Amino acid sequence: MSNIAENIQNIRQQIASFEQKYDRVPDSVLLLAVSKTQTADKIRQAHTCGQQDFGENYLREALEKITTLNQLPLNWHFIGPIQSNKTKALAENFDWIHSVDRFKIARRLNEQRPSGQPPLNVLLQVNLSNEASKSGVTLMQLPELAEQVSKLSSLKLSGLMTIPAPSTNFEQQRSTFRQLTEARNKLIEQGFNDCRHLSMGMSGDFEAAIAEGATIVRIGTNIFGARTAR
């Protein structure tokens, strides 16, 4: 077995043990393998142990891999910043978009989603650190964006995503993730019934994220090793 496949099996075991430790339903957390900067061959190795969900940040690089691997039954998630001239390719080639943070992008994805395909799963990216430089809507702006996106019939408002400022303090990690869970719970109360997913947690903080309700953890380094500069 390759190292990559072995790493994936180890992380799956860790996820399962955290589900148990924090009273989560077994198999309620999806492992998203973040394959940015990694080759198609490494993705193939990951697939040998059943990994189907892959996350990419850079459109051009992603499209090459999607084309190369089109014989494999993979689910592609876009997790990077979105420029409006990229929405057509995103709508045509991805199954999930985690990083929608403004209505203009959502409207374009909705118009450009091919009619033969199922609604595109969309997560709204929330900026919990309130750093002006980071992408994501604030918690204040979130209800309005959710309202607008929920009306777009070629999109499915499936949940929320966040990338917190890095912290090595477990309790601080948890309290940040808890804010996203509470925001999700409020949206569900308001009737956004499909908005149940929480994409939160990376290699350094996925235990805290699972403790607070993550349904998708995005893991790169722990699967593929340290990334070299792009």
Minimum CB distance to ligand PLP smaller for 183 or for 202: 202
As given in the structure block, the two tokens for residue 89 are: 């390719």
Question: In the 3-class helix/strand/coil scheme, how is 132-180 assigned residue by residue?
Answer: CCCCCECCCCHHHHHHHHHCCCCEEEEEEECCCCCCCCHHHHHHHHHHH
Does residue 218 belong to the site contacting ligand PLP (CB under 6 A)? yes
Residue 106, both tokens: 């959502």
Q: Which residues contact 175 (CB under 8 A, 6 or more apart)?
A: none
* Residue 128 vs 202, nearer CB to ligand PLP: 202
Where are any strands of DSSP class E within the chain?
30-34, 53-56, 75-78, 96-100, 120-125, 155-161, 197-199, 216-219
Confirm or reject binding of residue 129 to ligand PLP (CB under 6 A).
no
Stretch that binds ligand PLP, among 42-50, 88-96, 100-108, 217-225 (CB under 6 A): 217-225
Identify which range of 69-77, 83-91, 134-142, 214-222 contacts ligand PLP by CB under 6 A.
214-222
Q: What is the DSSP letter of 182?
A: H
Select from 9, 57, 112, 135 the one that contacts ligand PLP (CB under 6 A). Answer: 57
15 binds ligand PLP (CB under 6 A): no
φ/ψ of residue 217, rounded to 5: -110, 140
Question: Rule CB under 6 A: is residue 159 a binding residue for ligand PLP?
Answer: no
- Does residue number 68 form part of the binding site for ligand PLP (CB under 6 A)? no
Q: For the segment 19-38, give every residue that binds ligand PLP (CB under 6 A).
A: 34, 36
Between 78 and 192, name the residue whose CB sits nearer to ligand PLP. Answer: 78
Distance CA(133)–CA(120), nearest Å, equals 27
**Min. distance of Cβ 223 from ligand PLP in angstroms?**
8
Closest residue by beta carbon to ligand PLP: 220
Site for ligand PLP, rule CB under 6 A: 34, 36, 57, 79, 163, 202-204, 218-222
